[in-house]
Amino acid sequence: MKFGFDIDDTLINLREHAFHLYNKKLNQNIGIEVFRSINTVEIHEAFGLEKEVGNAMWVSLMEEIYFTDCPAFEGAIETLQQLIKDGHEIFYITSRPKKYCTQTREWMKAQGFPVQDHHFYCGMQDDEKIATIKELELDFYFDDKPAVLETLLEVATKVYIMDQSYNQHVDLPRMKQWSELEKIIIK
């Protein structure tokens, strides 16, 4: 079968990693419970920043957020390795900016994710992912972001939402941890 995965906050814990970096850069010590209660994809409100300032901060730190030691979610790497062993195909579909695509692909390999270069799709807008998902005729696709998932309600692909504080209103089957994937496939 063909499996598609978003990367940020689906396979790796990027927002939380960024939250710790923001604390460091802003010389603050905002608690993780504040992070867990944020119901937007953006994290700047936890630091009392206006949208514009928050967005500028994200852009200025992007390279550091992406390419330092952001952890994968528990079981993500092992689960994807097992899919490959079982003969499935894996595709990554990320809306990270084009200029970071090659570095992202290599960073994912370095973390231990099984990546084939021609199965790595990067640099599209959130609402453009649907074209790739349809073209690849994926059996399954996993993402966390409401703006993406809302474009996928009519596709034949089985779409799963990675459970996060900011996507609780989206009515789709949910994945809470990667160890659940095996059950989903068998269903």
Q: Catalytic residues, which ones?
A: 6, 8
Tell me which stretch binds Mg ion (CB under 5 A): 5-13, 63-71, 132-140, 153-161.
Answer: 5-13
Q: Which of residues 34-93 bind Mg ion (CB under 5 A)?
A: none
Kind and range of the H or E run holding 159: strand 158-162
Site string for Mg ion, 143-182 (x = CB under 5 A): -xx-------------------------------------
Structure tokens at 58: 């994200």
Alpha carbon distance 102, 23 (integer Å)? 28
Contact 123, 96 (CB under 8 A): yes
Site string for Mg ion, 94-133 (x = CB under 5 A): ----------------------------------------
Q: Which of residues 15-44 bind Mg ion (CB under 5 A)?
A: none
Dihedral sign, CA of 6, 17, 177, 105? positive
Alpha carbon distance 181, 69 (integer Å)? 25
Question: Which spans of this chain sit near Mg ion (rule: CB under 5 A)?
Answer: 6, 8-10, 144-145
